[in-house]
Structures are given as C-alpha cells and as structure tokens.
Amino acid sequence: MKLARTGALAVAAGLAFGAEDARAYDMDCAIMLCMAGGFPSSAVCSAAYAEMIRRITPWPSRPPFGVCTYAAVPVALGGPGGSAALDISTPEYSWLRRTRVLWWRGRSYEPRDEPRQWDWSVRSCDHENQNCHYIVRVYGSHTPWPASFTSENGQNLPTPGSGGLWFFYSRAVMMEYGDYGGAMDYTDWVNY
C-alpha cells in the first residue's frame, strides 16, 4: 500500500513539473522504487530496469540512477514539500547505498613457448559509479577464471564467460543491488 501511494505521488508530482523535468523525475524515482521492491514484474519497472542498464552501459557510463526529487513534491500533492532532493544518506536508505556497479575484464592467451594463461579482474564502484576499487585481480593464472566470485555484499556472482580455448577477451558490466528488505540481487552481465 505504501509503495502504491508513493508511486501515485510520483505520478502526481510529475504532472506538476514541466514535461522534460517530469520524465527525468519519474524515471529516477521509478528506478529507486522498483529497486526497493526487487524490480517486480510491471511495465513501469521493466522500463526502469532497462533505463538503469542503459545508463551503466558504456559509453559514456553514468550512475545507474539520478536524484529522485520526491522531497520537492508540494504538500498539496501529498509530498513533504521543500526544495531539496531526496537525502539517501539517512539510515532508511542504507539498502540503496549498497548498490554496486561491477566491471569485468578477462582474457585468455597463449604466450610464445608457454602454456595458456588467463587474466581477469572485477572492479567495484559505488551507487554513483565512482569510488572504484578492484575486488578481484588475477594475472598469469594457468587455470581459467572461476565460474563465480564473491562480491563486497557477500553474494556469489557468476563470471561472464569461461575463458575460451583460444585467444579470448571479454569486458562486461553488471549491477548488484538490494531491495528495501535487505535481500540482494544482481542484473545480467552486459558485454561491451
């Protein structure tokens, strides 16, 4: 009920702004609301999911969601009023701050007069697609990269490929996110 009421407020607020502002407002809030529910099956959440993936897919790569300005919805429309953007630094939005953008890079190659080798790495960035660091980085392994790895949020995530028998190179990006209840999930890898 609360999620439906919030969605209705988002639509009502969108009508109060100009058409261009409303589209940006609606999509950023839709991404956050649908993510909070684990992206349930609906036309709105399907569009929000597709937009989130489009934003993180290079180039240029952007944060998966922007600023939801629900805080600016007038009191007359059921919002809190004010002019500020939604502050996600508060404890009730900790689930949203667990969002990570994961960048994969892997290659398989055969150096001259040596056995086949594999290199792979996973770089993790915060919900703004900034403050990145490597969580896995392996060079010159004589075994293919594993089928999965453990993320910072403790999820066992699949790697996007097996490493191939011949020269093989892959790059991909995915999102790891949590819902309002704390359950973690992830998107498919998107190769680029």
Is residue 26 classed exposed, middle or buried when 0-12, 13-18 and 19+ CB atoms within 10 A define those classes? buried
Q: Is the pLDDT of residue 20 over 70?
A: no
Tens-place pLDDT, residues 143-190: 888 899 999 999 999 998 754 455 588 899 999 998 888 899 999 898
Q: Is the pLDDT of residue 15 over 50?
A: no
Angle of CA points 104, 101, 132, to nearest 5°: 80
| Separation CA 46–CA 53 (nearest Å) | 11
Cβ-contact 56, 124 below 8 angstroms: no
More confident residue, 91 or 12: 91
| Separation CA 180–CA 191 (nearest Å) | 28
Domain ranges (residues) in the chain? 2-87, 100-191
Q: Is the pLDDT of residue 76 over 70?
A: no
What mean pLDDT is predicted for residues 36-46?
A: 90
pTM for the full predicted model: 0.72
Read off the tokens for 47.
Answer: 């569009």
More confident residue, 70 or 150: 150
Q: Is the pLDDT of residue 79 over 70?
A: no
For residue 145, what pLDDT is reported?
87
Is residue 148 classed exposed, middle or buried when 0-12, 13-18 and 19+ CB atoms within 10 A define those classes? exposed
The overall average pLDDT reported for the chain is 78
Q: Quickly state the pLDDT bin for 56 (edges 50, 70, 90).
A: confident
